[in-house]
Amino acid sequence: DMVGHTGVVEAGIKAVETVDECIARIIPKLLELGGKCLITADHGNCEQMRNPDGSPNTAHTSNLVHFIYVAKDAAKFRCEDGILADVAPTLLFLLGLPQPKAMTGHNLLVPIFQKSATG
């Protein structure tokens, strides 16, 4: 997160490569142990580190961020686009726990044979 706010493109590239390498080391063991994982971010920035005039863009972007479900059963679901408030309901779904009524988000994992909650 902090690297993106520097506006230093080379540092952003290195940070993303490091995260990719770490995830590549974790996921095989996670799958071996039957684990499940959601990979996402709370905002964008590294994908747009320069403004059109070439100056550093150190603010959050409003671009969509990826939402990736990794598990042995991942092929049974597709990930909907959503908002940050949808992450917790999705985690509750994976844990088999009920979603409290006060929680306004929805589960972003849609079985591939079912229509989405939004249409």
The structural domains of the chain, with segments of one domain joined by +, span 1-63, 73-119
Beta strands 68-70 and 37-39: pairing type? antiparallel
CA-CA distance, 61 to 118, in Å (whole number)? 24
CA-CA distance, 115 to 111, in Å (whole number)? 8
Tens of pLDDT, residues 80-112:
999 889 999 999 999 999 999 999 999 999 999
**DSSP-derived secondary structure letter, 118:** T
Tens of pLDDT, residues 2-57:
777 777 888 888 988 999 999 999 999 999 999 999 998 877 777 777 788 988 77
Model-level pTM?
Answer: 0.77
